[in-house]
A and B are shown apart, each in its own frame.
Chain A
Amino acid sequence: MKRLWGVVAWIAGLVFVFPVIWMVLTSFKQEQDAASNPPSWFFTPTLDQYAQVFDRNITPFLLNSLMASVFSTLLVVALATPAAYALSLRPVAKWTDTLFFFISTKMMPAVAALLPLYLLVKHLGMLDNIWTMVVLYTSMNLPLAVWMMRSFLLEVPREVLEAGEVDGAGLLTSIRRIILPIVSPGLAATALICFIFAWNEFFLAVNLTATNAGTAPIFLVGFISSEGLFLARLCAAATLVSLPVLVAGWLAQNKLVRGLSMGAVK
């Protein structure tokens, strides 16, 4: 009986991951193998599609995504960590109101801000500029990072902090010697999750960037109406752009649920 449930779970896992496996398999096919009916399971693998994708210049799109995700993540962590500190270990007076203000900005649908953002950014001459995306992704991830970091900071035992203070540790010492060692796994998980959301963001990118600052998801837009003529090439591109997030997500998987629920579920 026990073994049966394990088998069922394995089957469920394989069914769920199957489209991803199919995507990766197809990316190593020639187009005629990819578009065959019935589906071809045995084929001579080729890297042609990846070569094609690089020929069509995916590199700048990947670099733009890398820049937007990395810089916005650094900025988010730099802004959110002190803020989370001021909302947990040494709280300001109205810390609950502030926390809920942050989360309410996360709930605002991006579509309501699209037009004003577009007009403001256009007015500033910042359309199709990767730094615009850095700023917007920072604001998109800030509430999540504040809530998440706060939940990690609350795990720092108060007694240890107070003992440090009694021993004459200054603020910087207690941050470096007590707080950071405890929260650094949480900090890494927060950064990974912010990176994931920034890397995958599509709505703002498709409306505010074009040829200069286009991010990885924008590269895929060209495949929307291809009617599958380039199925293998699409799969190669999709595999390539998904890879960084797959790695980041697998690394952060133990803290994933905490980040997605803004620290509400441990």
Chain B
Amino acid sequence: MTTVVARPDERTQPPVRPTRGGAKDRWARRAPLLPALIFALVITQIPFLYTLYLSTLSWNALRPGDKPFVGLDNYVTVLTDTRLRSALVNTVLLTAGAVIFSMILGLLLALLLDRKFLGRSVVRTLLITPFLVMPIAAALLWKHAIFNPAYGLINGIFGGSTDWISSYPKGAVIATLVWQWTPFMMLILLAGLQSQSHEVVEAARVDGANAWQIFRRMTLPHLRQYLELGALLGSIYLVNTFDAIFSITQGGPGTATTNLPYEIYLTTFRKFEYGEASAAGVIVVILTIIVATFALRVISGLFKMEEHR
């Protein structure tokens, strides 16, 4: 990890003048950084330390009296509780579903937009628009105007009286997320396509390679890092999906769409199990760190690539 992270600075490291000023110069360099650093440390680390502490207490806010220290009991409760496990499974399914489908659609759209045609920039503007609609507004729009069995657009246009949300709760949530996140994937992949060298592609074409061969052998390998970056950034954002669950399904029917953020929200503000909610929060952080480690590796890989270009 450290080696991957450290590599880009060998190249970007500016030709720093030998440290003449010693301590004084070092502090002059640090000064502009400190306000942001201290702010981030205080606002993000104190709540986390507090979560760690809360996770060791047996504390239900509805139950008056003391909050005894129970060590790791909350973790045992949370990890053996099937609710959290099913929330974890739902999180993975919803995140993976949304990321994979938006990635495929995003790739197709990026390939279309990489061509020259009349009004290309207008089409791009149209395509990014779903991403800009406020997420909860988008979720409610899909819930009421599109999925509604009585007068939603789908049944209105294609007929039938399917209640899309209760019949396919996960599908309904994923469809909404895919609609919002495809533009994000498209933008990243389009940037990747446009960074591909045209001369090399042209040379391959002259040598008799057909379109599919060029895509398969040249474009796709070139796009790999962009695909990875899109998948990881998308996962980081989508793992936290709350708006869509909260407004479209409320986690239901049953617990069919209860993901980790929604489950922890319920534990905190519906069941008032503060200790257990904190333990679940810590577990989510640990899982995030695992995913984020991969994400950082991809991002620093991409930086390396930019340097070498």
Contacts and interface: CB of A to CB of B under 8 A. Distances in A.
Given A135-B43, A217-B136, A83 B35 contact: yes
Contacts of A196: 132
B145 A206 contact: no
Given A17-B127, A92-B26, A265-B302, A37 B14 contact: no
A241 B137 contact: yes
A228 interface: yes
B1 to A, nearest CB: 10
Nearest 9 Cβ contacts at the A-B interface = A6-B117, A82-B32, A112-B281, A83-B36, A238-B137, A249-B132, A86-B33, A13-B126, A116-B50
Interface stretch (A43-51, A52-60, A95-103): A95-103
Interface string A127-152: 00000000110110011001000000
A42 to B, nearest CB: 15
B165 to A, nearest CB: 11
B188 interface: yes
Interface string A107-137: 1111111111111100000000000000110
User: Interface size for chain A: under 10, 10 to 19, 20 to 34, or 35 or more residues?
Assistant: 35 or more
A178 interface: no
Interface of A: 2-3, 5-6, 8-10, 12-14, 16-17, 19-20, 22-23, 26, 34-39, 79-80, 82-83, 85-87, 89-93, 95-96, 98, 100-120, 135-136, 138-139, 142-143, 146, 154, 158, 196, 199-200, 202-203, 206-207, 216-217, 220-221, 223-224, 226-228, 231, 234-235, 237-238, 241-242, 245-246, 248-250, 253, 256-257, 260-262, 264-266
Contact of A37 (B155, B179, B229): B155
Interface of B: 5-6, 8-9, 12-16, 26, 29-33, 35-37, 39-40, 43-44, 46-48, 50-51, 54, 108-109, 112-113, 115-120, 122-138, 140-146, 148, 150-151, 153, 155-157, 179, 182-184, 187-188, 190-192, 195, 226, 229, 233, 236, 239-240, 242-243, 246-247, 250, 260-261, 264-265, 268-269, 274, 277-278, 281-282, 284-285, 288-289, 291-292, 295-296, 299, 302-303, 306
Contacts of B118: 6
Contacts of B9: 95-96
Contacts, number: 324
A146 B184 CA distance: 20
A interface SS class: helix
A217 B11 CA distance: 45
A111 B240 contact: yes
A91 B29 CA distance: 7
A98 B37 contact: yes
